[in-house]
Structure 1
Amino acid sequence: MFLIKKLLKVSLIVFILAFISVYILYLSMRSDLPSVDSLKDLHWQTPMQVYSRDGLLISQFGEKKRIPLTFEQVPQQLIDALLATEDDRFYLHFGVDPIGMGRAILGKLMGQDKGGASTITMQVARNFFLTREVTYTRKIREIFLSFHIEKLLSKDEILMLYINKIELGHRAFGFGAAAQVYYGKNIKQLNLAQIAVLAGLPKAPSTLNPIRSPSRAKARRAVVLQRMLVSGYISEQEYQSAKAAPISAKKHGAEIELNAPYIAEMAHQEILKRYGKEKAYTEGYKVFTTVTAKLQTAAQQALVNNLLNYDQRHGFRGPLNSLRPKQATKINKLTEQQAQLLTQDEITNVLAQNNSYQMLVPAVVTAVENKSVTIQLRNNELATIDWPGLAWARPYINDQKQGRPPKVASDILHYGDIILVSKMADSSYRLGQLPTASAAIVSLSPDDGAIKAAVGGFSFKQSQFNRVTQAKRQVGSNIKPFIYSAALEHGFTLASLVNDAPINQWDRSSGVVWRPRNSPETYAGLLRVRLALAQSKNVIAVRLLQSIGVTNTIKHLTAFGFNANDLPHNETLALGSASLTPLEVATGFATFANGGFLIEPYLIERIENSDGDVIYQANPALACDPCLPANNLGMPAQETDFQDSSSTLAENPQITKVKQATRIISPQNAFLITQALNSAIWDADWTAKPGWQGTGWRARTLKRRDIAGKTGTTNEAKDAWFSGFSRRLITTSWIGFDDPRHILGQTVYNNNLGKNQTTGKEFGAKSAQPAWIEFMRVALADIEVEAFQLPVDIVSVRIDKATGKLTTKTDRTSQFEYFRLGHVPTDYVSADNTSAILSGSMQKEEEEELF
């Protein structure tokens, strides 16, 4: 008894001394301990997410992947697995587990690592406030912080901090993100085997993760399941079933619902500019753009299809590479298949090394028949490309020439060739190749500038250069509507006659004669302004610019938002030598569609913080005639309480102040140019000699009279354009080469393909307009037919087609034309001009009056 009492006294003294020592140590460290109060109002660092207007995830930006969870969102099996593995007495201790701590200390004294020293609370303290250095000082600070945390928070709150904070490998922080990264699922969709894999990661996420080391992950999973079984969380049957399950994890990115990488990057750059890099990547901003899934997908498909069609009609540039070069197969006169047969490993490895682009996927040719080839795709899938999928592939020689059409499959491909193929709608396969040409398409709302769709190239993987916003290209005849708009401001009308005849002008600066020419090089003599724009007459555009002057023209064009530095200060401006981006061109055309207002394109509709609060709401300037007094040309954007009926207001009732866009041209000017651009699509006259039709006539396939547009082709066809619009949508399509050494060229007839093929020289209507038509067919389906509104002070009178003068005739020599009040012709035609209409000529005395 004496020894026992002695031992108890010594133990009590040791305990008191230890308590005093710990308390003194605590007092000495207290001032250095970080405050845990921040855990009460914690702001999780979450990545920025970009969404479409209809709420589909486009992309995610941020170094740390985190999907914060609430307690209700966490499966009970995950909680059970974590408690069984990390801290089975979590709900019983006060932040430090004496049993676990004692076991760990005893293990150290015995030279064995027993583990169990760190509770979940201690891990929270370390993860939020301390480093991972292995020192006794850090461990003591960890213990003290755990006491503070337990005092401040409930057990459930501490557990959720752990679940959302812990690093779990592959930049996944928290179990919500880990479920997405490893399994591509919501945390509640995981089964027991998958949950056990994740629960085993905190011990060593870099070495135990199932992607890097499936065998170690499986072994760790078995430990987790065993502890869950011993703790009574799962039954023997559940244990055996989960233990036997295969490791199914593989790396997943964010669950992208809409593939729009160019849109994502545009939004990304704007957020960086607005908030800075640190906030952009950590504040969990949800960025909602103005694009919709339907229109963005349609734009993407239209651009890709058009580029593939252009590229393939110019010929096949050969396979990417070959596993068995043609000359190597001619060994001992064996067949290609007999000479050095390909191994499965060779095929698998080379397919893994080659990228997919859009619908183009890599394949290896494993057999060549007379009119077909057999290919192997990834996942050991075999397929056949029949002759319809091969027949296009005549050899590419250069931009202007193609070789002879192939007659058999061996004219195109050989055994071992590495190629790109696409799967068609009918499940057949087609030989493909990555286009060398580039393209862009952008669509805006002319009412407020909202970007409805934008695609900056064939594949973001191929090139991240966004040609919608970054590529300044010569615009060709896409500049003409703006030249003609300036002409209307300087006294011209749609009925004014201008001489469509060659120009020979001495250029003093270069010492040569400047001879701008039409394309095609045909001339009609005196021609009305409406028809000149519809037929895209180059020399008439030059004559109009000469009449109003370069300075006046540039002043007029800069009002459309064009930078004066991008506009050449000479007469080549009329031929489209200016360099603009597709977005700038579309913005300019929007002015004609909306009745004369300059809108500012915008992509971000609203931004929400991580709590779902709206921290930014777009309030664009609106192009709305009722918003502004009449004839207020040049008035800047301003605010008013007037409530407009635009979609922007209807969908955002919190906006009470309407910003009104600046009017830059009169509604009459915009209407008249729109009428001429409508003629570019719908007008034609085959009774005249020579007969003619507008350059945009291919758009008639849309069967919409409420559209207008303009083609554009630059010198040597380096760039091709089509910009067109309805009242509610403006779209610009561009195609060309990033490499300035290339031109769009021309093609000849391919005997293998039949009648429905594009041949001849490439230009705006052939090369750029098809993408515009394909996109607008989808976009216009949801837009009701809406005629362009006739503004006040516009009248319609019957004129003589040949002279533009008033007429009383009602036969085919006359038509109705629109004029602004004060610009209506006053003279009536005095002679019978039927012969002039038919021949395309005019009376000499009338010709001499014009330049």
Structure 2
Amino acid sequence: MVHMWRERRRKLIGLQKSRNIAKLAKFGFFGIVVIFVIAVIALPLMAFTLPSPDKVVRREGFSTKILDRNGKPLYDIFENERRTPIKINDVPLYLKQATIAIEDKNFYKHQGFDILGTIRGLSRVFTRGYAQGGSTLTQQLVKNVLLTSERSVWRKVKEFILSVQIERKYSKDEILQMYLNEAPYGGNARGVETASEIYFGKSSKDLNLLESAILAGFPQSPSRYSPYSSTPKAYIDRTTDVLRRMREDGFITKDQEQASLGELPDVKFQTKGSSFKAPHFVQYVQKILEDRYGEKVVEQGGLKVTTTLDLELQEKAQAIVADEISKVEKQRITNGGVVVVDPQTGEILSMVGSKRFDDPDYDGQVNVTLSLRQPGSSFKPFTYLTAFKEGYTPSTMIMDVATTFPGGEGQPDYNPVNYDGKYRGPIQLRYALGNSINVPAVKLIALVGIKDVLETAYNMGLNSLPPTNETLKRVGLSLTLGGGEVRLLELTTSYSAFFNGGYRVDPIAILKVEDSNGKLLEEVKTKKGKQVITSEQAFLISNILSDNEARREVFGINSLLNIPGRQMAVKTGTTNDKRDNWTIGGTQQRAVGVWVGNNDNSPMLNVASGVSGASPIWRRVIIESLSGFDPTGFEPPDGIQTVEVDSFSGKLAHDSFSSRSEFFDKSNVPSGDDIHVKLKICKNEEKLATPSDVAGNNYDEKEYYKIVEEDPVSTDGKNRWQEAILNWINGAGDDRYRPPTEYCGTANPLSVEWQNPKDRETVSNTFNIKVKAVSTSEILLIEIFADGVKVRSFDSLPYEGEISLNDGVHKLQVKGRDKDNHETEHTITIGVNVPWDSSPTPTP
């Protein structure tokens, strides 16, 4: 019974197995049919609708690379993904091996797909609900470039088809190159060259073994393995796996693996965002490029842009600004900017737009070198230059006294004050500019005209203040003290004309632009700019601004503006409300401009030009920028000559008065002195000696200052300049400022004397006569008599002419009369062809 049961069970099981085999055979048959249909019909149809494998070769979408003048990367400009291509020959061997070891060890053996990997990936459909894993480098390339990141069986099929097509069309090295240029490495970084620059600050061709292993591990899960992610140490385990696989595949030795693992915990990555070098300058360049080539080309065209920037100098300048601003933040100075240019070419070598670009507390991303701010006294050189163009000289004397100027229609009177509240009286332009005295600067712009000054500044490159009617409506005499708004970049390049002999230079930021294929699109050729001022005028300004003695009174002999061993032309500026503080200066080799203040335009608490604020930054930056340059000076051009001038009046030296040496344009040398004078004074009273007293040698000589200024801006006929001078003189204790104007009352104020011929002189029959006549009032008539007979008369200068007399001795008499009816005469004896004292021969 038991035996029969077992036999029956065995037959039932056998029958069931036969039925199962039949079912499997049936499914197998249908599977073969399905595979056949897919292979013969579906796959070709699908392939027909797939992207062309040719599109795997990227021809656009490359980042525009911004480089400094020495080829150091500053930034990549891109639309969505930052991508910089690299040739496979430039990829280090370790990086190739690390990528293959961790991602696709059979890369050089398969035909685009790995059977076991594909089966492993498809099996996930039935366990996880989606397909993943097992992708070769070729498949990953297809996914990154041609397909979406969708996880499905059909995407795997598409990926398979395209991978096979790509493997047939391209070599393994070409595929590996495309993969390395397309793989994701974290954030918007695409390609190993970009990743190397972002994480290590170098080109991928310079990566070592450990750095190569680290980057090779990123593409599997860049959002996890990037040191900038929320799991900043996850790369360590991943890199450990990469090194192990490299050793297992025979790419490195055990010793190399262990050495790299020992270094792994101490790897230094760049600070996040540090790959954005010189951000304000890069944004400035980007705007220029977009204007020239369009936004799309800049973001996707793969341009290579070599700029003028010196990254090493830039980073030093940036650090100096941050350091110096931190020292004065208690003085409510929170920000600063720097520009360094080559004054010969206008090339921008450094542009620091704020103390820190990524600080939101004070709008750090605002580029203050391009912001409109009031320049204070740093504008004054343009006024003085205009004056030199119009005939004034460095020794021209002007009165620094409290003076009232008309404020314009509907405006109150303008009463400028000096920085220190003092008034110095007589001051020559060299010392007025050197010490940055305000009142003389206002007088000077009144004398030469606001429009003329605007034209001078505009021609030199100060484009923010064009000499238009609109500008003239909004600026006045205070323009010379910085009453108009300018940009630091423009102001610095405008100063370059002072340093380079008078040539305008415009700011240059780009040296060369190449397209993604290396074709040269543009290249700057160095050339001389337009000469906008003469070399003599440029020299006079630079010489004054570099004269440490000329600024000694206000700045002292050892200010931050004085750099021993270097001749620096430099000017400071501070607005009267202390919202802006500037220092602009340099040499023939470098020009440096600095601004400090607050982006919100709030006033600084305390700042002293030449001591704090912009000056410490300027000093440190100019020293750095001139490192490696031999000291140079501002040599006088051929049109300059040196002349001794009176220390008080600035006119030609005379009468053994104190004098000094001054530079002049040869076409504009001062003449005689009508300011610092010696006057002939009556012996017994402090009045002018009359001509008769002078003729009789009855006088003394005394030193006086005769100061007269006309008011060129008076609107009511009043000479407020002279009124101010007289007010100042009344408070001065020096009597030399009070020369006498009246003559002594006892003698005749009219005097005449013979200059030719002289008394007792022998002349020919026809001879020239010349008379000198002086009076305290207008002379109306001069008459000439010979032996009592009138032979000539004159009613105006010159009192000279020709007369004829017979041989013999004659009496010549000159008579004069002035407007006040004073009369006088002078008689001499002469001989015509005979001695003056000969006697007539007696008649027999």
- TM-score computed with the length of structure 1 as normaliser: 0.66
Q: Distance in 2 between matches of 1:311 and 1:194?
A: 41
Classify the secondary structure of the residue corresponding to 1:716.
coil
Q: What's the counterpart of residue 68 of structure 2?
A: 52
Structure ID, larger Rg: 2
**Residue of 442, 451, 455 corresponding to 2:339:** 442
Q: Distance in 2 between matches of 1:215 and 1:684?
A: 59
Q: Give yes or no for the alignment of 1:797 onto 2:694.
A: no
Greater Cα shift, 17-26 or 451-460: 17-26
Q: Give yes or no for the alignment of 1:666 onto 2:512.
A: no
C-alpha displacement of 1:262 = 3.2
Q: Distance in 1 between matches of 2:64 and 2:107?
A: 34
Classify the secondary structure of the residue corresponding to 2:577.
helix
Classify the secondary structure of the residue corresponding to 2:350.
strand
Q: What's the counterpart of residue 571 of structure 1?
A: 477
Q: Give yes or no for the alignment of 1:786 onto 2:639.
A: no
Classify the secondary structure of the residue corresponding to 2:644.
strand
Structure 1 letter corresponding to 2:414: W
Q: What's the counterpart of residue 143 of structure 2?
A: 126
C-alpha displacement of 1:31 = 4.4
C-alpha displacement of 1:482 = 0.8
Q: What's the counterpart of residue 518 of structure 1?
A: 418
Q: Give yes or no for the alignment of 1:37 onto 2:77.
A: no
Q: Distance in 1 between matches of 2:671 and 2:264?
A: 89
Q: What's the counterpart of residue 372 of structure 1?
A: none
Structure 2 letter corresponding to 1:589: Y
Give matches, 1:565-714, under 5 Å: 568-610=474-516, 614-619=520-525, 648=526, 658=527, 660-679=528-547, 681-683=548-550, 692=553, 698-699=559-560, 701-704=562-565, 706-714=567-575
| Residues 1:254 and 1:270: Cα distance change in structure 2 (over 3 Å) | farther
Classify the secondary structure of the residue corresponding to 1:742.
coil
Q: Distance in 2 between matches of 1:223 and 1:519?
A: 70
Greater Cα shift, 442-451 or 786-795: 786-795
Classify the secondary structure of the residue corresponding to 1:788.
coil
Classify the secondary structure of the residue corresponding to 2:112.
coil
| Residues 1:532 and 1:155: Cα distance change in structure 2 (over 3 Å) | closer
Q: What's the counterpart of residue 165 of structure 1?
A: 182
**1:180–1:252 contact (8 Å) kept in structure 2:** no
C-alpha displacement of 1:577 = 1.0
Structure 2 letter corresponding to 1:53: R
| Residues 1:249 and 1:282: Cα distance change in structure 2 (over 3 Å) | farther
Q: Distance in 1 between matches of 2:218 and 2:499?
A: 59
Structure 2 letter corresponding to 1:584: E
Structure 2 letter corresponding to 1:714: T
Q: Distance in 2 between matches of 1:827 and 1:221?
A: 88
C-alpha displacement of 1:668 = 2.6
Greater Cα shift, 109-118 or 786-795: 109-118
Q: Distance in 1 between matches of 2:269 and 2:566?
A: 51
Q: Distance in 2 between matches of 1:560 and 1:195?
A: 52
Give matches, 1:241-640, under 5 Å: 252=270, 260-311=278-329, 314=331, 436-462=333-359, 463-507=363-407, 509-510=409-410, 512-562=412-462, 563-564=465-466, 568-610=474-516, 614-619=520-525
**2:143–2:159 contact (8 Å) kept in structure 1:** yes
Classify the secondary structure of the residue corresponding to 1:662.
coil
**2:387–2:448 contact (8 Å) kept in structure 1:** yes
Greater Cα shift, 793-802 or 446-455: 793-802
Structure 2 letter corresponding to 1:671: F
**2:351–2:369 contact (8 Å) kept in structure 1:** no
| Residues 1:763 and 1:130: Cα distance change in structure 2 (over 3 Å) | same
Q: Distance in 1 between matches of 2:320 and 2:89?
A: 44
C-alpha displacement of 1:497 = 2.5
Q: Distance in 2 between matches of 1:584 and 1:728?
A: 18
Q: Give yes or no for the alignment of 1:728 onto 2:589.
A: yes
Q: What's the counterpart of residue 668 of structure 2?
A: 823
| Residues 1:774 and 1:113: Cα distance change in structure 2 (over 3 Å) | closer
Structure 1 letter corresponding to 2:536: Q
C-alpha displacement of 1:765 = 5.0
**Residue of 46, 66, 91 corresponding to 2:108:** 91
| Residues 1:672 and 1:176: Cα distance change in structure 2 (over 3 Å) | closer
| Residues 1:566 and 1:699: Cα distance change in structure 2 (over 3 Å) | farther
Which segments of 5 or more consecutive residues in structure 2 lack a partner in the other structure?
1-20, 680-701, 712-720, 722-844
The C-alpha deviation readout for 1:368-411, integer Å capped at 9, x for no partner, is xxxxxxxxxxxxxxxxxxxxxxxxxxxxxxxxxxxxxxxxxxxx
C-alpha displacement of 1:601 = 0.9
| Residues 1:824 and 1:438: Cα distance change in structure 2 (over 3 Å) | same
The C-alpha deviation readout for 1:256-306, integer Å capped at 9, x for no partner, is 589634333333443344444444344444433323245334433443343
**1:499–1:527 contact (8 Å) kept in structure 2:** yes
C-alpha displacement of 1:114 = 9.2
Identity of aligned residues (%): 29
Classify the secondary structure of the residue corresponding to 1:55.
coil
Structure 1 letter corresponding to 2:440: I
**1:165–1:174 contact (8 Å) kept in structure 2:** yes
The C-alpha deviation readout for 1:302-336, integer Å capped at 9, x for no partner, is 43343234335x4xxxxxxxxxxxxxxxxxxxxxx
Q: Distance in 2 between matches of 1:259 and 1:114?
A: 42
Q: Give yes or no for the alignment of 1:814 onto 2:830.
A: no
Tell me the matched-pair count: 657
Q: Distance in 2 between matches of 1:775 and 1:214?
A: 37
Give matches, 1:143-292, under 5 Å: 143-178=160-195, 202-206=219-223, 211-213=229-231, 252=270, 260-292=278-310
Q: Distance in 2 between matches of 1:715 and 1:57?
A: 42
Greater Cα shift, 577-586 or 698-707: 698-707
Q: What's the counterpart of residue 768 of structure 1?
A: 614
The C-alpha deviation readout for 1:758-803, integer Å capped at 9, x for no partner, is xxxx345543323222222333443333332433443332222222
Q: Distance in 2 between matches of 1:188 and 1:848?
A: 74
C-alpha displacement of 1:449 = 0.6
Classify the secondary structure of the residue corresponding to 2:164.
helix
Structure 2 letter corresponding to 1:527: I
| Residues 1:130 and 1:551: Cα distance change in structure 2 (over 3 Å) | same
| Residues 1:825 and 1:212: Cα distance change in structure 2 (over 3 Å) | closer
**1:52–1:293 contact (8 Å) kept in structure 2:** yes
Structure 2 letter corresponding to 1:303: V
| Residues 1:732 and 1:197: Cα distance change in structure 2 (over 3 Å) | closer
Q: Distance in 1 between matches of 2:109 and 2:446?
A: 91
Q: Distance in 1 between matches of 2:301 and 2:568?
A: 44
C-alpha displacement of 1:125 = 2.5
- TM-score computed with the length of structure 2 as normaliser: 0.67
Greater Cα shift, 87-96 or 226-235: 226-235
| Residues 1:154 and 1:800: Cα distance change in structure 2 (over 3 Å) | same
Q: Distance in 1 between matches of 2:96 and 2:584?
A: 58
C-alpha displacement of 1:439 = 1.9
Q: Give yes or no for the alignment of 1:738 onto 2:599.
A: yes
| Residues 1:792 and 1:285: Cα distance change in structure 2 (over 3 Å) | same
| Residues 1:843 and 1:512: Cα distance change in structure 2 (over 3 Å) | farther
Classify the secondary structure of the residue corresponding to 2:369.
coil
Q: Give yes or no for the alignment of 1:715 onto 2:576.
A: yes
Greater Cα shift, 445-454 or 172-181: 172-181
| Residues 1:577 and 1:53: Cα distance change in structure 2 (over 3 Å) | same
The C-alpha deviation readout for 1:12-61, integer Å capped at 9, x for no partner, is 9997995575344355345433322344x544744444333233334444
Classify the secondary structure of the residue corresponding to 1:491.
coil
Which segments of 5 or more consecutive residues in structure 1 lack a partner in the other structure?
315-434, 620-647, 649-657, 686-691, 747-761, 835-840
